[in-house]
């Protein structure tokens, strides 16, 4: 996600403004979306909520997302590195004040042709896969990755770490998708099974790496 890439680059900036991390999105390689904002039904302070939404969408509010910290109209303390949703800001003075103004999201979006039939049905399975593979098993994954780095990525350990056989594209669109639709009990059971699979793999990968295999 661009936000994570850009904020990481920002956090690693040196005094000369350079960072060892950058974010690059290949032209036409990804869709571009915006962060939603809304007023909840039954909001206790409706007028205040409407005023907040109006501010966020105003020129001043949008530039807080995009301009450099400590400058006007940027934030006070740190760069937020978000792209404004208003097309009129990508020109003239406001464009020049944006940290990531060169991204030109409205132009990049024209280069991407989304075919919902290819991936739309995989959104829910992918969310679950990312969770069980990277979030729930994060500690084990991190320990295995550190062991791989320390050992120079020996072949058996590396292969075990990258084993995603239970969450292939085919399975994501068939058995995983259908199981998630059955019931919450079935969904939790599947997540536990997949989570155990990845935890086991990461632990084995760590052991193999420590053995130099």
Contacts 24+ apart (CB under 8 A), 177-185: 177/121, 177/122, 177/124, 177/125, 180/124, 180/125, 180/128
Domain ranges of the chain: 2-109, 117-210
| Block residue for tokens 């003075």 | 93
pLDDT digits (tens, 9 = 90+) for 56-67: 999 999 999 999
Q: Whole-angstrom Cα distance, residue 50 to residue 58?
A: 12
Checking if the pLDDT of 95 tops 90, the result is yes
pLDDT digits (tens, 9 = 90+) for 29-71: 788 888 889 999 999 999 999 999 999 999 999 999 999 888 8
* Contact (CB, 8 A) for 21 and 9: yes
Q: Tell me how far CA of residue 102 lies from CA of 58, 96, 99, in angstroms.
A: 21, 9, 8
Name every residue whose Cβ is closer than 8 Å to that of residue 121 and which is 6 or more positions away in sequence: 173, 177
Give the single-character DSSP code of 133: I
Peptide bond preceding 155 in cis form (omega within 30 of 0) = no
């Amino acid at each position: 996600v661009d936000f994570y890439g850009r904020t990481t680059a920002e956090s690693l900036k040196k005094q000369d403004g350079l960072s060892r991390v950058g974010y690059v999105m290949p032209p036409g390689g990804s869709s571009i979306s915006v962060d939603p904002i809304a007023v909840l039904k039954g909001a206790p302070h409706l007028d205040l909520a409407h005023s907040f939404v109006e501010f966020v969408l105003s020129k001043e509010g949008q530039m807080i997302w995009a301009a450099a910290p400590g400058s006007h109209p940027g934030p006070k303390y740190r760069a937020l590195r978000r792209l404004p949703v208003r097309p009129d800001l990508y020109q003239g003075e406001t464009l020049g004040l944006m940290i990531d103004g060169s991204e030109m999201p409205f132009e990049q979006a024209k280069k991407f042709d989304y075919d919902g039939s290819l991936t739309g049905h995989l959104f829910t399975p992918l969310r679950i896969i990312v969770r069980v593979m990277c979030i729930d098993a994060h500690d084990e994954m991190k320990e295995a990755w550190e062991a791989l780095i320390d050992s120079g990525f020996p072949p058996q350990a590396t292969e075990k770490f990258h084993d995603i056989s239970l969450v292939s594209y085919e399975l994501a669109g068939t058995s995983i998708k259908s199981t998630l639709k059955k019931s919450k009990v079935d969904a939790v059971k599947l997540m536990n099974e997949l989570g155990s699979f990845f935890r086991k793999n990461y632990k084995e990968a760590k052991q193999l790496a420590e053995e130099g295999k």
